[in-house]
Amino acid sequence: MGLTLERDVGTAPAETKTRLRIIDCDIHPYLRTPRDLDQFLSARWRQHLAEYGKGTRGIYAGRGTYPRFMPNTCRRDAWPAGGGLPGSEVDFIRSQHLDPNDVEFGVLEPLLEGNSPRNVELQAALCSAFNDWQVTHFTDLEPRLRASILVPQDDAEAAVAEIEKRAADPRFAQIQLSSRTPEPLGRKRYWPIFASAERAKLPIGLHVGGPSAAAPSASGWPSFYVEEHQVLSHSMPTQAASLILEGVFDRYPNLKLILIEGGFAWVPSLGWRLDANVAKMRSEVPHLKLKPSEYLRRNLWYATQPIEEPEHPQHLRTIFDWIGWDRIVYSSDYPHWDYDDPRLAIKIAMSDGERRAIFRGNAEQIYRFT
């Protein structure tokens, strides 16, 4: 990790009890040091990583293609006083986020490129190691935190094996996939993962990012992070459309996907656009049983962060109305720089029922918290 400025991290905000114990669908755990993973990797893969690195599709050997705007993409005040990366110390996650915000359950979304190597055997080894690491370093220390089953998504057989290995373990709340899979997610190569998720009654958290084999745009490569950060969210409507059009939700009607950190203002327009075109070109997708917008309301949920900020704040209510209040789940993205404080992020007046649905009730319907 490069330079960090010497600074006083200050004290955590005064504890303010909200009336509602909330569920946060997006907390990012980090390694204190890369060595923390070693105990979960074989000597063969430790050597491979030391010699060749992860071997993703990016342009740099050891970092992402688009340099972010903060070290480790994190809040300046999220660096633990005792050293290590933001999101790597359970005590600090607890005192900075879980306690003051009254988080009852927080779902971990590891973004450490476990599913990004082109070498799928390395993917499998890393995903399994990150799964062991989440329980050892997080959920066993803080039971409010729940892990995600990270899977080698490019090798469905290995992914299913990893799901089956973890599915009965209540410390895992979901299966995690990346939104930028190398092929559109509706493709048959991914179907065994969906079958396994449905069998295990586990939702799939689709987190933005990942190892796509395609350019960020159909017109190539943006120059800047300010572009790429926004363009990246197109992977969400793309995956939603692919899953719908390929018939995944007809084949696996009980599948639940939470789209995390991909925004949600696009959802109504995507549904309308798909409905209009499927109505005209039904002949291309005769297998669909419902209108595309109906799958958006049946099989998909949308996490709030980064919250949409309409120019006129009341339009946020319109967007929620169009999507359905039962489809929205709160997420903080702790400890990233664009973290959404649950007390401040949603700037419209809400009824108690609406607030409860977004901050708790909807997530309870999707996830397994036992």
Partner 1 sequence: MSRYPGAIDCDIHPTVPGIESLLPYMDDYWQEAFVSRGIDGLEMASYPPGAPISCRADWRPAKGRPAADAATIARQSLDVMGTALAICNPLTGGQVAVSESMGAAVCRAVNDWICKEFLDKDARFRASIVVPPQSPELAVEEIERRAPDRRFVQVMIPVAVEMMLGRRYYWPLLAACEKHGLPLGLHAGSLHRYPTTSNGWSSHYIQDYVSHSQTFEDQLLSLIHEGAFLKFPGLRVVLIESGVSWLPGFLWRAIKTWRGVRAEVPYVKRSPAEIVREHVRLTAQPFDAPDAAAVARIIEMIDSDAMLLFATDYPHWQFEGDRAVPEGVATPVLAKMLIDNPIATYPRLKENPTWA
The residue within the footprint of partner 1, chosen from 10, 16, 168, 223 (CB under 8 A), is 223
Burial label, 44 (beta-carbon count in 10 A; 0-12, 13-18, 19+): exposed
Rounded to a whole number of angstroms, the minimum distance from the CB of residue 328 to partner 1 is 15
Question: CB-side exposure of 95: number of CA atoms within 13 Å?
Answer: 14
The token pair at 23 is: 């569920």
230 touches partner 1 by CB under 8 A: yes
Q: Are 339 and 332 in contact (CB under 8 A)?
A: yes
Rounded to a whole number of angstroms, the minimum distance from the CB of residue 311 to partner 1 is 7
369 touches partner 1 by CB under 8 A: no
Report how far Cα 72 is from the mean position of its chain's Cα atoms. 17
Q: Are 147 and 131 in contact (CB under 8 A)?
A: yes
* Cα-trace Rg, the chain: 20
**Nearer residue to partner 1 within complex by CB, 160 or 232:** 232
Rounded to a whole number of angstroms, the minimum distance from the CB of residue 11 to partner 1 is 25
231 touches partner 1 by CB under 8 A: yes
Stretch that binds partner 1, among 34-42, 47-55, 76-84, 183-191 (CB under 8 A): 183-191
318 touches partner 1 by CB under 8 A: yes
Type of residue numbered 308: E
Rounded to a whole number of angstroms, the minimum distance from the CB of residue 166 to partner 1 is 26
Stretch that binds partner 1, among 17-25, 90-98, 229-237, 296-304 (CB under 8 A): 229-237
The residue within the footprint of partner 1, chosen from 58, 71, 84, 222 (CB under 8 A), is 222
Alpha helices (H) in 68-222, listed in sequence order: 90-93, 120-134, 156-166, 191-200
Whole-Å CA distances, 328 to 2, 18, 162, 260, 319: 37, 19, 28, 10, 11
The residue within the footprint of partner 1, chosen from 22, 93, 241, 329 (CB under 8 A), is 241
Rounded to a whole number of angstroms, the minimum distance from the CB of residue 83 to partner 1 is 27
120 touches partner 1 by CB under 8 A: no
**Nearer residue to partner 1 within complex by CB, 185 or 257:** 185
Whole-Å CA distances, 355 to 232, 297, 325, 350, 365: 28, 19, 9, 6, 15
The token pair at 181 is: 């899979």
Alpha helices (H) in the chain, listed in sequence order: 43-52, 90-93, 120-134, 156-166, 191-200, 225-231, 235-245, 248-251, 266-280, 292-298, 315-323, 352-356, 362-366
218 touches partner 1 by CB under 8 A: yes
**Nearer residue to partner 1 within complex by CB, 35 or 312:** 312
19 touches partner 1 by CB under 8 A: no
Rounded to a whole number of angstroms, the minimum distance from the CB of residue 333 to partner 1 is 13
**Nearer residue to partner 1 within complex by CB, 53 or 184:** 184
Rounded to a whole number of angstroms, the minimum distance from the CB of residue 51 to partner 1 is 29
Rounded to a whole number of angstroms, the minimum distance from the CB of residue 296 to partner 1 is 13
* Cα angle, residue 71 at apex, residues 32 and 138 outer, rounded to 5°: 30
Instruction: Annotate each residue in 142-181 with x if it binds partner 1 (CB under 8 A) or - if it does not, as one string.
Output: -------------------------------------xxx
The residue within the footprint of partner 1, chosen from 53, 55, 58, 268 (CB under 8 A), is 268
Distance CA 116, CA 151 (A): 10
Instruction: Annotate each residue in 322-341 with x if it binds partner 1 (CB under 8 A) or - if it does not, as one string.
Output: x--------------xx---
Distance CA 169, CA 173 (A): 9
Stretch that binds partner 1, among 8-16, 151-159, 268-276, 339-347 (CB under 8 A): 268-276
Burial label, 349 (beta-carbon count in 10 A; 0-12, 13-18, 19+): exposed
The residues of the shown chain that bind partner 1, judged by CB under 8 A, are 69, 179-187, 212-227, 229-235, 237-239, 241-242, 245-246, 263, 265-266, 268-270, 272-278, 280-281, 283-285, 306, 308-312, 315, 318-319, 322, 337-338
